[in-house]
């Protein structure tokens, strides 16, 4: 436990030293890593999406690969190809960039749907199948994908089925003035990523993820998660609610949140804390739902669903 | 919990600090967890409210089957059913809305009052359903109407508005009681007592007790209650260990049983007030109840005079109207004989079978008003009855009383011809000693239980008297002079008249009324060898002018009386008047020292055996009735009136009761709240409970405290957030709040851990409460104490 908080503190410190003024976003990124999920970072260009992904990758040891998604990117450019080895006279599998502990998918919505789905398939199954052979991906395995808002030119919006595979979505947003000034000063002398040394090795990172998985989730909290998901399915402003996979990922994220808070059990507070980034990007708004954003709907649901304090019974 | 030590969490969650928990030391170890204890003090499983109320309705309906036997026809079904259905609907809705249990009962009672108002006295209510003082009056008159109706009728009862009200109230009360027992207390067994209460009606009114159908239906209802309560969850949990709050619950149960057993008789007034038992609801059986002598006392004490009948006589004089006589003194309570009666009244008119004197016949025309006896009132000795038909009448050749199995005579009239015995002192003085072996033997039998004081007093009083007449006179005057009249004292001291049981104490206290004096003199007469019996009936009354200018005598409850009759050979049965409350004695039996002006004040020390003075008109042969000046207002009436003057007016009682009820009602929320707090504090300290239950108890109390002081925790807030809101108002108690909330979080959300114990104590709750109270203004304090909002939420 001591070790866990030391390590996670170190990772956060390291990330915050690079990304100015975004402690919430860095923490979400770490939460998703600890939950064993994948992160979608969505915002306009130039606010540090890729920086966030690379900082996270740099803070933990392990292999990092980066894929710049372009309209002409092919699925095999991600998963890898079998090439004929003329010396040994046989096909040899050349692993693609997806075979890394941390895969940064830059501007994922610039690639065609076919290529996107190749990555997402790998994300869901943690494995790649090529020429009849299945290759396991690395552990831990995390995809940090960035995407531009769908209104931007030259983008293919992610279908909802694929958005569902990301544990959480965050927006970077513009830094405030002080942070931006600080950034200008810090970045003047070159990229801060250059001398970014990992604070944990890959083995320790795996241990962190394992620890999070061991956290206790009580029936009351599980019930609460399910109630929240069910509320999204019946909410009048929503066309599409949260899937059971969303509930699973909420539980995982809540575990990570609880672990980061130094507890070994999950509180409803943890669920509430991760609910917006975990749920919002999966929801489809009704067209006539006015100006509510998906985040607003999730907040409204959080404000509405009863928090159970005992097994089976409602709060007294 | 020190929030500052925690790292700031994203998305605004308060960073819960690490509480020295490490994953290594407290791994989630499912194998380590104990089997879950059955939850004990927490709320029992949800009941299926609607099925249980349907069951309740069915049980009450089944319980009423027995009642059907006591009631003629189905006139009562609709009002009773409407009442019960309203009560059940209201209580069911309240349960469904999860209103606190005690309030459900209150609501049920309110619904009952509403239903009774709407169904029975809507004419006297505001808008037809809001009870007003006028409604109360209407209910009161219906109530007393039902009382006289039940007293006057015998089962099965026909339609009567008052009885409908009483029955509705009874069944409604029982329904509320059963609802409380079944759903409020989850005690189906106790609810069965309610069915028992419904059976009381037929059990008391029907000679053959409850019919087999009624009994079967009641058993079915009880079984259904017991089975249904299990099926639909109205059972208590297994744990038998003494629970906190056991005492209040026990008190509640006792109060319920008492209420049912006390209220049921109250709502059936006919059982406990009535006239002579043969005319009361107890039918003609000697089964139970009130003997004629006790009934005399009850009638005399009746605060409201009820007109029984009126009569005119051919000679314009009032009469002693005799109903029946008592001659068998061997029972603890004396009853008239109803066996060996002669069917039909022809024999009464026949001089062969009724060999009484027929000289100076007087005809008396009787009109019944509110009359419900089985016996016809008649002056002694009757020789002919006309105008009553032949059906169902029988007469007793021994005492010439006339009996009918039916008792509804209100409004009827009849005429009786009677002829008083020619009783003169001379005739009686010279009467031959009675034949002690013949028919008269029964009238001389002195039971073994007769108190020694009776025989000793009899011997003492008759000392020196030379013949039966003088002895009788000595007994009469001895009783009149040495004893005191009081109709209330015997009841208060537990020796109300009725039979041999009261005689001993009467002789000691020398205080009583006609019900004591008459049998005392009769027994004394037997002691000295004079055949005797006790007649029960009505005193002569003051005449009023009737519409045709004649004298009309009205007889009511205040005129009830009993007197001894002594037998003199050759004269017959002669009335004496030993009751000092009656100012005049028969002319042939003058009160010694009865000089003018002395009877009112002087109580000359009458020594036993003193020779009475001779009657002034020995030869005119006046009957006692004729010579008797009409009593303007008998002392018994006067007594009764003075008794009324000291009674608290009904409206004061009602007002006091209502005020008391209001005070109790006002205290109910505070009592409920205090009970809950004590139960929770006890839970917190109860080591036999699981840590989770103890933590939950503390948390529940904390939340209720917050609500009582105006907090409104949102159900969608986590315990931690709610606690933070609460602690914001009372920073001094924030540590206590933190302990309690961390306990409930651990209890509700952490991995099962056998070694964990709640850290909060009762003192923490005390701190919170004190802080809240300290910061509350006067209004908030008052609300928190007397109208705690927390009892209205679950």
Q: The complex's ipTM?
A: 0.83
A276 → chain B, closest CA residue: B11
A22 → chain B, closest CA residue: B10
Tokens of B239: 């744990």
Cα–Cα distance between B766 and B763 in angstroms, integer?
5
Which of 242-301 (A) contact B at CB < 8 A? 257, 260-270, 272-274, 276-277
B721 to chain A: which residues are within 8 Å by CB?
269
Q: Give me the pLDDT at residue B26, please.
A: 38
> Could you list the mean pLDDT of each consecutive 10-residue stretch along chain B, which spans 794 residues?
40 39 39 42 58 88 82 84 91 84 86 86 76 81 75 67 85 88 79 79 61 80 82 56 46 58 49 35 36 79 79 86 86 76 80 80 85 81 80 81 72 84 83 75 84 86 84 88 82 76 84 88 88 89 75 84 88 87 82 46 40 39 40 42 45 74 81 87 86 88 87 85 87 89 88 84 88 86 85 70
Q: Give me the pLDDT at residue B609, please.
A: 40
A260 to chain B: which residues are within 8 Å by CB?
7, 9
Cα–Cα distance between A103 and A39 in angstroms, integer?
10
Cα–Cα distance between A38 and A145 in angstroms, integer?
8
Cα–Cα distance between B743 and B756 in angstroms, integer?
10
Question: Nearest to residue B717, comparing CAs of A269, A58, A29, A98?
Answer: A269
Which residue has tokens 């009239």? B413
Helices (H), B206-245: 212-231
Cα–Cα distance between B108 and B130 in angstroms, integer?
16
Nearest residue, CB atoms, B719 vs list A216, A274, A309: A309
Do residues B362 and B417 make contact, with C-beta atoms less than 8 angstroms apart? Answer: yes
Q: Does the beta carbon of B21 lie under 8 angstroms from any beta carbon of chain A?
A: yes
Which of 673-692 (B) contact A at CB < 8 A? 692
A262:B715 CB<8 A:
no
Q: How many CB pairs under 8 A join A and B?
A: 131
Residue B417, number of CB atoms within 10 A of its CB: 19
Do residues A52 and A89 make contact, with C-beta atoms less than 8 angstroms apart? Answer: no
Cα–Cα distance between B493 and B486 in angstroms, integer?
12
Nearest-Cα distance to chain A for B124, in Å, is: 45
| Cα dist from B194 to B200, B222, B521, B700, B758, whole Å | 10, 9, 47, 35, 44
B703 to chain A: which residues are within 8 Å by CB?
316
Do residues A253 and A278 make contact, with C-beta atoms less than 8 angstroms apart? Answer: yes
Q: Roughly how many angstroms between the first and final C-alpha of chain A, as a whole number? A: 33
Cα–Cα distance between B10 and B27 in angstroms, integer?
26
For residue B180, the 8-state DSSP code is I
Ramachandran angles phi, psi of B625, nearest 5°: -65, -40
Read off the pLDDT band of A252 (50, 70, 90).
Answer: very high
The least confident of A67-76, A92-101, A142-151 is: A142-151
Please give the torsion angle defined by the CA atoms of residues B1, B7, B13 and B18, in that order, rounded to the nearest 10 degrees. Answer: -40
Q: Does the beta carbon of B696 lie under 8 angstroms from any beta carbon of chain A?
A: yes
The kind and range of the H/E element at A250 are helix A244-260
Q: Give me the pLDDT at residue B248, please.
A: 54
B697 → chain A, closest CA residue: A316
- Angle, in degrees to the nearest 10, between helices B452-462 and B500-509: 60
Q: Give me the pLDDT at residue B782, please.
A: 85
Nearest-Cα distance to chain B for A45, in Å, is: 23
Q: On the CB side of A288, how many CA atoms lie within 13 Å of its CA?
A: 1
Q: Give me the pLDDT at residue B648, please.
A: 52
B21 to chain A: which residues are within 8 Å by CB?
1, 262-264
| Cα dist from B751 to A143, A215, A217, A263, whole Å | 31, 9, 7, 11
The residues, ordered by sequence, that sit 6+ positions from B744 with a Cβ below 8 Å of its Cβ are: A309, B695, B696, B698, B699, B719
Read off the pLDDT band of A182 (50, 70, 90).
Answer: confident
Q: Give me the pLDDT at residue A3, please.
A: 85
Task: Please state the pTM of the whole predicted model.
Answer: 0.47
User: Which tens digits make up the pLDDT trace of A48-86?
Assistant: 888 888 888 888 888 888 888 888 888 888 888 888 888
A23 to chain B: which residues are within 8 Å by CB?
8, 10
DSSP string, B84-140: HHHHHHHHHHHHHTT--HHHHHHHHHHHHHHHHHHHH-GGGSBTTTB--HHHHHHHH
Nearest-Cα distance to chain B for A212, in Å, is: 10
| Cα dist from B235 to A59, A301, B182, B231, B321, whole Å | 61, 37, 8, 9, 62
Nearest residue, CB atoms, A276 vs list B11, B700, B715: B11
Which residue has tokens 């009381």? B200
Cα–Cα distance between B109 and B59 in angstroms, integer?
19
Tokens of B579: 């009751």
Cα–Cα distance between B590 and A145 in angstroms, integer?
128
Read off the pLDDT band of A164 (50, 70, 90).
Answer: confident
Cα–Cα distance between B478 and B474 in angstroms, integer?
6
**Mean pLDDT, range A261-265, rounded to an integer:** 90
Q: Is the pLDDT of residue A184 over 60?
A: yes
A272 to chain B: which residues are within 8 Å by CB?
11, 13, 718
How do beta strands B307-313 and B321-326 pair?
Answer: unpaired
Please give the torsion angle defined by the CA atoms of residues B498, B500, B506 and B508, in that order, rounded to the nearest 10 degrees. Answer: -160
Tokens of B608: 């036993």
B13 to chain A: which residues are within 8 Å by CB?
257, 261, 269-270, 272-273
């Amino acid at each position: 436990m001591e070790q866990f908080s030391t390590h996670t503190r170190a990772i956060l410190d390291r990330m915050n030293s690079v990304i100015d003024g975004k402690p919430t976003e860095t923490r979400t990124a770490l939460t998703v890593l600890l939950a064993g999920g994948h992160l979608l970072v969505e915002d306009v260009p130039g606010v540090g999406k890729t920086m966030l992904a690379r900082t996270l990758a740099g803070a933990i040891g392990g292999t990092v690969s980066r894929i710049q998604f372009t309209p002409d990117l092919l699925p095999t450019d991600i998963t890898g190809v079998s090439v004929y080895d003329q010396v040994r006279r046989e096909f040899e599998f050349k692993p693609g960039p997806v075979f890394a502990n941390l895969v940064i998918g830059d501007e994922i919505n610039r690639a065609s749907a076919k290529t996107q789905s190749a990555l997402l398939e790998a994300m869901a199954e943690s494995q790649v199948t090529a020429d009849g052979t299945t290759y396991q991906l690395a552990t831990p395995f995390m995809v940090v994908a960035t995407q531009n808002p769908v209104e931007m030119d030259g983008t293919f919006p992610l279908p909802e089925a694929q958005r569902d595979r990301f544990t959480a979505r965050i927006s970077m947003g513009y830094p405030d003035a002080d942070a931006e000034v600080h950034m200008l000063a810090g970045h003047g002398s070159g990229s801060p990523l250059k001398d970014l040394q990992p604070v944990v090795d890959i083995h320790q990172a795996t241990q962190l993820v394992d620890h999070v998985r061991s956290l206790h989730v009580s029936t009351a909290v599980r019930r609460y998660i399910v109630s929240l998901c069910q509320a999204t399915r019946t909410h009048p402003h929503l066309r599409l609610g949260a899937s059971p996979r969303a509930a699973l990922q909420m539980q995982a994220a809540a575990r990570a949140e609880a672990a980061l808070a130094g507890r070994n059990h999950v509180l409803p507070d943890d669920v509430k804390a991760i609910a917006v980034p975990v749920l919002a990007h999966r929801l489809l708004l009704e067209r006539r739902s006015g100006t509510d954003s998906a985040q607003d709907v999730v907040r409204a649901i959080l404000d509405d669903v009863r928090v159970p304090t005992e097994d089976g019974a409602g709060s007294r | 919990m020190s929030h500052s030590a925690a790292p700031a969490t994203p998305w605004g969650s308060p960073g819960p600090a690490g509480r020295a928990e490490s994953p290594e030391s407290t791994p989630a170890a499912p194998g380590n967890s104990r089997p879950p204890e059955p939850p004990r003090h927490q709320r029992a499983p949800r009941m299926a409210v609607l099925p249980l109320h349907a069951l309740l309705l069915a049980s009450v309906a089944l319980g009423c089957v027995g009642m059907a036997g006591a009631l003629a026809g189905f006139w009562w079904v609709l009002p009773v059913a409407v009442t019960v259905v309203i009560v059940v609907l209201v209580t069911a809705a309240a349960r469904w809305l999860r209103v606190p249990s005690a309030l459900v009962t209150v609501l049920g009672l309110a619904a009952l009052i509403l239903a009774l108002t709407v169904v029975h006295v809507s004419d006297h209510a505001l808008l037809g359903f809001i009870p007003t003082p006028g409604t109360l009056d209407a209910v009161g008159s219906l109530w007393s109407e039902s009382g006289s109706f039940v007293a006057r009728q015998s089962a099965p009862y026909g339609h009567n508005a008052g009885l409908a009200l009483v029955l509705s109230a009874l069944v409604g009360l029982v329904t509320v009681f059963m609802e409380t027992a079944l759903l409020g207390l989850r005690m189906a067994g106790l609810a069965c007592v309610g069915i028992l209460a419904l059976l009381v009606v037929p059990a008391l009114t029907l000679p053959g007790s409850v019919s087999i159908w009624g009994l079967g239906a009641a058993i079915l209802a009880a079984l259904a209650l017991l089975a249904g309560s299990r099926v639909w969850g109205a059972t208590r949990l297994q744990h038998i260990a003494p629970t906190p709050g056991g005492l209040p619950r026990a008190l509640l149960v006792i109060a319920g049983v008492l209420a049912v057993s006390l209220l049921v008789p109250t709502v059936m007034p006919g059982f406990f007030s009535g006239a002579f038992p043969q005319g009361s609801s107890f039918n003609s059986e000697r089964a139970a109840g009130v003997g004629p002598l006790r009934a005399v006392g009850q009638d005399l004490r009746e605060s409201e005079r009820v007109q029984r009948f009126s009569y005119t006589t051919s000679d314009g004089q009032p009469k002693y109207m005799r109903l029946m006589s008592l001659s068998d003194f061997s029972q603890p309570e004396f009853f008239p004989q109803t066996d060996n009666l002669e069917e039909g009244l022809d024999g009464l008119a026949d001089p062969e079978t009724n060999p009484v004197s027929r000289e100076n016949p007087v005809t008396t025309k009787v009109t019944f008003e509110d009359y419900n006896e089985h016996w016809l009132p008649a002056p002694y000795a009757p020789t002919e009855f006309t105008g009553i038909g032949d059906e169902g009448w029988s007469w007793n050749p021994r005492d010439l009383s006339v009996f009918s199995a039916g008792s509804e005579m209100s409004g009827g009239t009849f005429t009786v011809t009677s002829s008083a015995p020619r009783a003169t002192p001379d005739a009686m003085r010279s009467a031959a000693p009675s034949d002690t072996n013949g028919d008269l033997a029964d009238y001389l039998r002195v039971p073994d239980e007769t108190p020694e004081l009776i025989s000793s007093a009899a011997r003492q009083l008759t000392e020196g008297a030379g013949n039966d007449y003088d002895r009788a006179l000595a007994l009469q005057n001895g009783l009149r002079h040495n004893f005191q009249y009081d109709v209330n004292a015997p009841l208060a001291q537990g020796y109300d008249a009725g039979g041999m049981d009261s005689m001993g104490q009467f002789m000691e206290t020398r205080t009583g009324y006609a019900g004591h004096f008459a049998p005392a003199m009769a027994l004394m007469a037997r002691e000295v060898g004079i055949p005797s019996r006790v007649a029960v009936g009505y005193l002569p009354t003051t005449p009023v002018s009737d519409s045709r200018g004649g004298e009309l005598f009205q007889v009511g409850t205040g005129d009830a009386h009993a007197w001894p009759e002594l037998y003199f050979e050759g004269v017959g049965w002669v009335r004496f008047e030993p009751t000092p409350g009656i100012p005049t004695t028969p002319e042939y039996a003058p009160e010694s020292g009865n000089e003018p002006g002395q009877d009112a004040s002087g109580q000359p020390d009458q020594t036993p055996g003193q020779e009475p003075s001779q009657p002034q008109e020995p030869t005119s042969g006046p009957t006692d009735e004729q010579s008797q000046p009409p009593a303007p207002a008998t002392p018994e009436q006067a007594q009764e009136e003075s008794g009324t003057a000291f009674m608290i007016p009904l409206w004061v009682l009602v007002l006091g009761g209502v005020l008391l009820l209001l005070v109790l009602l006002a205290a109910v929320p505070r009592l409920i709240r205090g009970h809950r707090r004590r139960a929770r504090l006890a839970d917190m300290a109860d080591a036999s409970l699981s840590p989770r239950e103890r933590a939950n108890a503390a948390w529940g109390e904390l939340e209720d405290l917050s609500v009582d002081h105006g907090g409104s925790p949102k159900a969608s807030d986590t315990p931690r957030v709610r606690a933070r809101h609460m602690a914001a108002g009372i920073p001094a108690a924030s540590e206590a709040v933190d302990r309690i909330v961390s306990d409930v979080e651990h209890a509700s959300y952490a991995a099962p851990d056998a070694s964990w114990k709640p850290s909060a104590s009762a003192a923490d709750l005390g701190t919170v409460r004190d802080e809240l109270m300290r910061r509350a203004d006067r209004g908030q304090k008052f609300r928190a104490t007397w109208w705690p909002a927390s009892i209205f939420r679950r």
